[in-house]
Structure 1
Amino acid sequence: MAQKFAPRTLGVVGAAVCALALSACQDQASSGGNARDYISAAGSSTVYPFATTVGERFAEATGNKTPKIDSTGTGGGFERFCQGIGAGTPDISNASRRMKKSEYDKCQANGVKDIIEIQIGYDGLAFGEAQRGPGLALTLEDIYKALAANPYGKPNTAKTWKDVNPALPAVAISVFGPPSTSGTYDSFKELLLMAGCDKNPEMKALKASDEDKHKEVCGTFRGSPFYVEQGENDNLIISKLATNPTSVGAFGFSYLNSNRDKVKGIAIDGIQPTMETITDESYPGSRAMYIYIKKAHVGTIPGLMEYAAEFAKGAAAGGYLNEKGLIPPHKEMEAKIAATIASQTVMTGAELK
Structure 2
Amino acid sequence: MRFTTLLLAASAVALTACGQQQTSGKADGQVSGGGGARNQVWAAGSSTVFPFATRVAETVARTTGGTAAKVESLGTGGGIKLFCSGTGANYPDIATASRAMKKSEWDACQAAGVTDIVELKVGFDGIVLANAKAQPTFSVTREQIYRALAAELPQGSGFAPNTTATWSAVAPGLPNQRILAYGPPPTSGTRDAFVELAMEKGAEKVPAMAALKKSNEDQFKEKSHTLRRDGAWVDAGENDNAIVQTLEKTPNALGVFGYSFLENNMDKVKAATVEGVAPSFETISNGSYPLSRSLYIYVKKANVGVTPGLREYVNAFVSDAAAGRGGYLQQRGLIALPEAEHATVKATAQALTPMAAPAK
Q: Does the TM-score normalized on the shorter chain lie above 0.5?
A: yes
Runs of 4+ in 1 over 6 A off after TM superposition: none
Give runs of aligned pairs for residues 177-256 of structure 1, distance below 5 A.
177-256=183-262
- Tell me which residue corresponds to 1:40: 42
Question: What is the rounded CA distance, in whole Å, between the counterparts of 1:243 and 1:28 in structure 2?
Answer: 45
Measure how far apart 1:309 and its partner are.
1.3
- Tell me which residue corresponds to 2:355: 347
Question: What is the rounded CA distance, in whole Å, between the counterparts of 2:292 and 2:324 in structure 1?
Answer: 17
Give runs of aligned pairs for residues 1-353 of structure 1, distance below 5 A.
28-30=33-35, 32=36, 34=37, 36-152=38-154, 153-313=159-319, 314-349=322-357, 351-353=358-360
Q: Which amino acid aligns with 2:333?
A: G
Q: Which amino acid aligns with 2:280?
A: T
Question: What is the rounded CA distance, in whole Å, between the counterparts of 2:193 and 2:222 in structure 1?
Answer: 16
The alignment covers a number of residue pairs equal to 326
Cα shift readout 1:245-276 (whole Å, capped 9, x = no counterpart): 11101001000010000001110111111111
Q: Percent same amino acid among aligned pairs?
A: 48
Measure how far apart 1:225 and its partner are.
1.6
Question: What is the rounded CA distance, in whole Å, between the counterparts of 1:65 and 1:151 in structure 2?
Answer: 53
- Aligned 8 A contact 1:64 1:302 in 2: no
Question: What is the rounded CA distance, in whole Å, between the counterparts of 1:292 and 1:28 in structure 2?
Answer: 20
- Aligned 8 A contact 2:34 2:88 in 1: no
- Aligned 8 A contact 2:184 2:190 in 1: yes
Q: Which amino acid aligns with 1:228?
A: V
Q: Which amino acid aligns with 2:359?
A: L
Of the structure 1 ranges 196-205 and 141-150, higher mean CA displacement relative to structure 2 is found in 196-205
Of the structure 1 ranges 200-209 and 131-140, higher mean CA displacement relative to structure 2 is found in 200-209
Name stretches of at least 5 consecutive residues in structure 2 with no aligned partner: 1-25
TM-score normalized with structure 2 length: 0.87
TM-score normalized with structure 1 length: 0.89
Name stretches of at least 5 consecutive residues in structure 1 with no aligned partner: 1-5, 8-24
Q: CA RMSD in A?
A: 1.6
Of the structure 1 ranges 56-65 and 234-243, higher mean CA displacement relative to structure 2 is found in 56-65
- Aligned 8 A contact 2:76 2:97 in 1: yes
